[in-house]
Amino acid sequence: MSNHAEEVAHVGASVSTFTKVWIALLAMTGIEVLLAYEQVPTLIMLTCLLGLSIIKAALIIAYFMHLKFERLSLFLTLFPMLIFCIVLMLIFLGDAVRIPHMRPPV
């Protein structure tokens, strides 16, 4: 176990960057709530909500969780696998869309 664990300089974002990211996150949340209030059609709403959520997640991971300032190898070890596994699950949603049409009539 390394004692002087990787004594790199504390590279990272400044306080003002963190604050800007926070404000951006709040703004995106506000847009999401507005979309819900306006009762936008379901598919558009879902696309916008998911898109915004992914952008918010990317901002939190990059800046708050400091991943933007870490080595590329860390990102590559963690995230391609996660995305791949999620895509594998999402493939089954095609099945879900068909099921309501396959029920026998009441």
Partner 1 sequence: MSSHASAVGPAGSGSVWEGGQSPYATNSKKFGMWLFLISDSLTFSAMLFAYTYSRVTNPDWPKPFDFSPAIIYSTVMTFCLLSSSLTMVMAVHSMNHGDRKATVRWVLATMVGGAAFVVLHLSEWLKLINVEHVTPLNNPWGVPLFGGTFFALTGLHMTHVICGLIYLAIIAQGIARGKFKAEDVEVSGLYWHFVDLVWMFIFPLVYLMSARVG
The tokens of 26 are what?
């709040």
Residues of span 32-91 touching partner 1 by CB under 8 A? 32-33, 35-37, 39, 42, 45-46, 49-50, 52-53, 56-57, 60-61, 63-75, 77-79, 81-82, 85-86, 89-90
Interface with partner 1 (CB under 8 A), residue total: 60
Is-contact 83 70, C-beta < 8 A? Answer: no
DSSP string of 7-66?
A: --------HHHHHHHHHHHHHHHHHHHHHHHTT--HHHHHHHHHHHHHHHHHHIIIIIS-
Interaction of residue 6 with partner 1, rule CB under 8 A = yes
Which residues make up the interface to partner 1 (CB under 8 A)?
1-2, 5-6, 8, 10-12, 15, 18-19, 22, 25-26, 29, 32-33, 35-37, 39, 42, 45-46, 49-50, 52-53, 56-57, 60-61, 63-75, 77-79, 81-82, 85-86, 89-90, 92-93, 96-97, 99-100
